[in-house]
Amino acid sequence: MQAFSQKHKPKTGRSSTEKAAARVFNPATDPPFLNAKQAWVDSVFNKLSPEERIAQLIMIPVYSNKNQAHVDSISALVRKYKVGGLIFFQGGPVRQAHMTNRYQKESKVPLMVSIDAEWGLAMRLDSTTKFPYQMALGGIEDEQLIYEMGAEIARQCRRLGVHVNFAPVVDVNNNANNPVIGFRSFGEDKYNVTRKAMAYMRGMQDNKVLANAKHFPGHGDTNVDSHVGLPIINFSKLRLDSVELYPFRQLMKNGLGSLMVAHMNIPVLDNTPNLASTLSKPIVTDLLKKEMNYQGLVFTDALNMQGVAKFYPPGVVDVKALLAGNDVMLNTMDVGTTIAEVKKAIANGDITQAEIDLRVRKVLAAKQWLGLDKWQPIETENLIADLNNPHAEYLNQQLVEASLTLLRNKQNILPLQRMDTLKVAALAIGTKEETAFQRGLARYMQVDTFFLTPNSSIAELQALKEKLQQYNVIVAGVHKLNLKAGSSNFGITAEMNLFLKDLIRSKPTIVGVFGNVYSLAHLEDLAKADAVIAAYQETPLTQDIASQLIFGGIGAKGKLPVTVSNAFKIGDGLKTQGGLRLAYAQPEAVGIKAVDLAGIDSLVAQAMAQGATPGAQVLVAKDGKVFYHKAFGNHTYEEQHPVQLTDLYDLASVTKISTSLAAFMRLAGEGRFDVDRTLGEYLPLMQGSNKANLKYRDILTHQARLQAWIPFWKETVKKNGKFKWATFKADSSRRFPIRVADNLYIHRRYAGKIYDQIKESPLNEKPGYVYSDLSFILAPLVVQNITGQDFETYLKQNIYKPIGASTLTFNPYKQYAADRIVPTEVDSLFRRQLLHGTVHDEGAAMLGGVSGHAGLFGTANDVAKLMQLYLNDGKYAGETYIGGNTVSEFSKCQFCGQGNHRALGFDRPSKPGAPDGNAAPSAPAESFGHSGFTGTYTWVDPVNGLVYVFLSNRVYPTRENPKLSQLNTRTNVLQVVYEALEKSRKVQP
């Protein structure tokens, strides 16, 4: 736009409005505000005094984490001098919003509000989303993701009343020792930097936030931080033109709204000693505005930085910046002196009022384009939630996933396979606190955690080395690294290097480096590791995603954007396939909006509030992605132990499909078990009984006329309520080795009596469906008879351990601390104690906690792995554990025509669509699962690719509590998921 060019004084006789109309706006190439509505610009401009016009070019620093005196001092500057804008620094979003509202109301002209938010508002503000650093973004191949990030950052800025984001950094970081740019750059390749910066810029400006390319003419090849000194750039103009200026030029051709001039001394462009580029007319006016013909807003870098501030006092440095050609003076520290100095410069003829006016009009045009002609106060209600919205979380996850760079993968060790052969140690180097990386790894299998502090003694190193000898895979995370170059090898100590070198030499070692990618060059022998993951930064999300990469939940995609060493060069990056095992993602990853799942939280909260259960775990996965996984409430109503995702619940009858059925299906897939053969064929104990000829097809569909259950425990109690002396003892011994509960041990041969009772029990007179535990109590004997292995060993070796379901176990008290096991009932009749770590079911307890009808404990996460195996028809992580399409066959309804809606062992919807049925109303007829007496439930839907797990201890403190079933909480939670799915389908094109 002619009116905003820097062609000295405008010609007389033509108004700015006429000149603006004389130039055709090109949206593809021009800064967007050149299309501003001139009427508003003219009306505001005409009401400004000469001093107020100067003030429009001043932007002052503001902090929302300072005291009231600071808040009031900014207010005084706004009211007295009518400054043009603010740059916010550290603080919080709500406080910033309140301050912004106050200052906007006090300002004669709406203020242009800016912020440094290179990786989102979290660069400056607490309680906000932290997106990846630009160096991580430089490793992403899909630039559309970076556009979406720019758009989301813009939306968040607008929500907070911010108009200019000082991003992207377009410096080409070709100096590994750069102390100020480094991880803030997209990398060392000018073309890659340009593509990424373009996407970021467009994302913001398409959403009405002005982008700002920095730091002109290029701060990527310096070894001095301009915050503390003045870098000297001794390059030729040819070098500057071909490398440093390239991204700026390309962005300018594509509508760049603003840029920032760096504080650097560049003799080839201006040989004035100690003069920063910010204060150089040859650089700002001659090069940038004339030679490069840049029409957008030109900001100085902060004028309180030592690159300029140590040479000139406040006010003087500002006027020098203005004389150099800058439009906006950033971080003016003395507004009154600055205005006075500018007026002197005008009086001295150093700059004309007309030149000032052109820049003021440019600022006002930008304000109009930004919507400040229709300013509205910031609404602070829901501000935090809006700034941390689910879309932003999902986008952040996508960005991190796309950036992770796999630099070594010897013999394709990643993703880890054959977990039943692995003993994994998760070593955190650089910290002594459990890391998100270690917690993420533990979702996939049992891992043991170890720690190596930066300055461990030789004795500590040796002790740790000895402990790790028993492991055949070490996954080492390198943590707590310094971000900036030049800071003592990024914090990597000789001790860390010594230990890691030895580890890599002696063990299969996978290393994830959570820090500045240049730190890889300081980890000796890292290239010899079996796998190396460059994660670029340390956040809980980055560690979470890296753990998923190791086990194949997601694949590796990133490419190194810089050369780190001879071993790790720009463009390096191996790919792996994801989807091997469960991934952990946001609802948006499966097309569902997180807001549409709010009903789950409400239903569980309702159940807890009404005393239906003290707590719960809920997990939902679709297409192999866990998109909802939460823990609620406490272990008991005493609220002393909040439920964690890693806590184990008594699964009750979910045991049937998790143990007996798992074993039967695996054996059937191998041709070793046939549902059309009889119980007597598989269990000699039952031969000669009325159960010998019962077919397993009838048994597993509960129509074999077996009794529902037998209260075995009542046979052990005398009329006075005391136990029979030959049955139980308070202490264990050779004759009474089997623990039933705390201080209660049963005779070693009592199991035989239970089996005899089942054998001798009469069959129901009438045929038809009767749900029975009895055949499942016998299942361990059947499995052992077929395989020669005891039941628990068979399950763990053949299914649980290979799929990483390590918490699926009987008698969890043997392996887990009590605070990880959720208690069940206060048993007042049989065991007369709180049941904690031993099975709730009396019969299973009398069998030593191991049975096929009850007794299994586990987390929702590990139950989900088994259910995913079922959903995949017996396959998981590229291996087949149940062959022959057996799960598909077992999960089909066998006798629906006769009114029996069960599959083989599985429950199915008995009344599809019924609001009070055994399944969610929208669950298709093909879905299947099971429920458990203690308040558990799991459901598999092959039509929609869903796995659902609900675990609770509704029997605490007593089983005489039907509220969970009365509320239909378990099925209603799944119905929320179906309704969310339906909503997502309606909005799809």
H helices present in 703-817, as ranges: 750-760, 774-787, 791-795, 801-803
Tell whether the model's pLDDT for residue 104 goes beyond 80: yes
pLDDT (mean) for 600-612: 98
Tell whether the model's pLDDT for residue 4 goes beyond 70: no
pLDDT (mean) for 942-958: 98
Examine the domain organization and report whether 563 and 648 are in the same domain: no
pLDDT band at residue 5 using 50, 70 and 90 as cut-offs: very low
Q: CA geometry: angle at 453 spanning 447 and 457, to 5°?
A: 115
Examine the domain organization and report whether 719 and 629 are in the same domain: yes
- In 3D space, the residue among 918, 786, 805 whose CA is nearest the CA of residue 857 turns out to be 805
Neighbour tally for 343: CB within 10 Å: 16
> Which of 581, 616, 644 finishes a domain?
581
In angstroms, rounded to a whole number, what is the distance separating the alpha carbons of residues 366 and 85? 12
Tell whether the model's pLDDT for residue 249 goes beyond 80: yes
Biggest CA-to-CA distance, the chain? 118
> Which of 341, 357, 386 finishes a domain?
386
In angstroms, rounded to a whole number, what is the distance separating the alpha carbons of residues 319 and 329? 9
Cβ atoms of 843 and 754 closer than 8 Å: yes
Strand order in the sheet with 809-810: 649-650, 856-858, 809-810
Give the SS3 label for residue 362.
helix
User: Residue 13: its pLDDT value, please?
Assistant: 42
Residue 13 in any domain: the answer is no
User: Which amino acid, residue 974?
Assistant: L
Examine the domain organization and report whether 473 and 607 are in the same domain: no
The string of DSSP codes covering 764-781 is PSS-S----SHHHHHHHH
Who wins on pLDDT, 702 or 913?
702
Examine the domain organization and report whether 605 and 518 are in the same domain: no
In angstroms, rounded to a whole number, what is the distance separating the alpha carbons of residues 165 and 184? 14
> Which of 352, 386, 420 finishes a domain?
386
User: Residue 536: its pLDDT value, please?
Assistant: 98
Choose the weakest-confidence range: 318-332, 704-718, 950-964: 704-718
Average pLDDT score, the chain:
95
Residue 731 in any domain: the answer is yes
Neighbour tally for 417: CB within 10 Å: 17
pLDDT band at residue 23 using 50, 70 and 90 as cut-offs: low
Examine the domain organization and report whether 865 and 894 are in the same domain: yes
User: Residue 487: its pLDDT value, please?
Assistant: 65
Both tokens assigned to 412? 């394709």
pLDDT band at residue 12 using 50, 70 and 90 as cut-offs: very low
Buried b vs exposed e over 506-528: b needs ≥16 C-beta within 10 Å? ebbbbbbbbbbbbbbbbbeebee
- In 3D space, the residue among 780, 763, 781 whose CA is nearest the CA of residue 772 turns out to be 763
Examine the domain organization and report whether 627 and 541 are in the same domain: no
pLDDT (mean) for 287-308: 95
User: Could you tell me the residue range of the domain that residue 507 belongs to?
Assistant: 404-581
Who wins on pLDDT, 712 or 1?
712
Tell whether the model's pLDDT for residue 248 goes beyond 90: yes
Examine the domain organization and report whether 541 and 681 are in the same domain: no
User: Residue 17: its pLDDT value, please?
Assistant: 39
Examine the domain organization and report whether 410 and 359 are in the same domain: no
CATH of the domain at 357: 3.20.20.300
Residue 251 in any domain: the answer is yes
Pairing of the two strands 809-810 and 856-858: antiparallel
Choose the weakest-confidence range: 476-480, 534-538, 720-724, 975-979: 720-724
Examine the domain organization and report whether 621 and 559 are in the same domain: no
Residue 9 in any domain: the answer is no
Provide the percentage of residues in the chain whose pLDDT is more than 70.
Answer: 97
pLDDT digits (tens, 9 = 90+) for 677-688: 999 999 999 999
pLDDT (mean) for 269-292: 96
How many domains is the chain built from? 3
pLDDT (mean) for 862-874: 98
pLDDT (mean) for 692-720: 94
Cβ atoms of 125 and 99 closer than 8 Å: no
pLDDT band at residue 708 using 50, 70 and 90 as cut-offs: very high
Residue 8 in any domain: the answer is no
Both tokens assigned to 289? 């505005």
Examine the domain organization and report whether 364 and 430 are in the same domain: no
User: Residue 916: its pLDDT value, please?
Assistant: 86
Residue 863 in any domain: the answer is yes
pTM: 0.94
Tell whether the model's pLDDT for residue 112 goes beyond 70: yes
pLDDT band at residue 987 using 50, 70 and 90 as cut-offs: confident
Contacts 24+ apart (CB under 8 A), 237-244: 237/268, 237/269, 240/266, 240/268, 240/269, 243/172, 243/174, 243/190, 243/218, 244/171, 244/172, 244/217, 244/218, 244/220
In angstroms, rounded to a whole number, what is the distance separating the alpha carbons of residues 933 and 917? 16
pLDDT band at residue 6 using 50, 70 and 90 as cut-offs: very low
User: Residue 718: its pLDDT value, please?
Assistant: 86
Tell whether the model's pLDDT for residue 20 goes beyond 90: no
| Beta bridge partner(s), residue 642 | 634
Torsional sign, CA 322, 327, 332, 336: positive
CATH of the domain at 904: 3.40.710.10
Pairing of the two strands 447-452 and 424-429: parallel
Residue 954 in any domain: the answer is yes
Place of tokens 């001043």: 58
User: Residue 988: its pLDDT value, please?
Assistant: 67
CATH of the domain at 577: 3.40.50.1700
pLDDT band at residue 714 using 50, 70 and 90 as cut-offs: very high
User: Residue 2: its pLDDT value, please?
Assistant: 35
Residue 158 in any domain: the answer is yes
Examine the domain organization and report whether 155 and 107 are in the same domain: yes
Examine the domain organization and report whether 772 and 906 are in the same domain: yes
| Beta bridge partner(s), residue 619 | 629, 949
pLDDT band at residue 233 using 50, 70 and 90 as cut-offs: confident
pLDDT (mean) for 278-306: 96
pLDDT digits (tens, 9 = 90+) for 498-507: 999 999 999 9
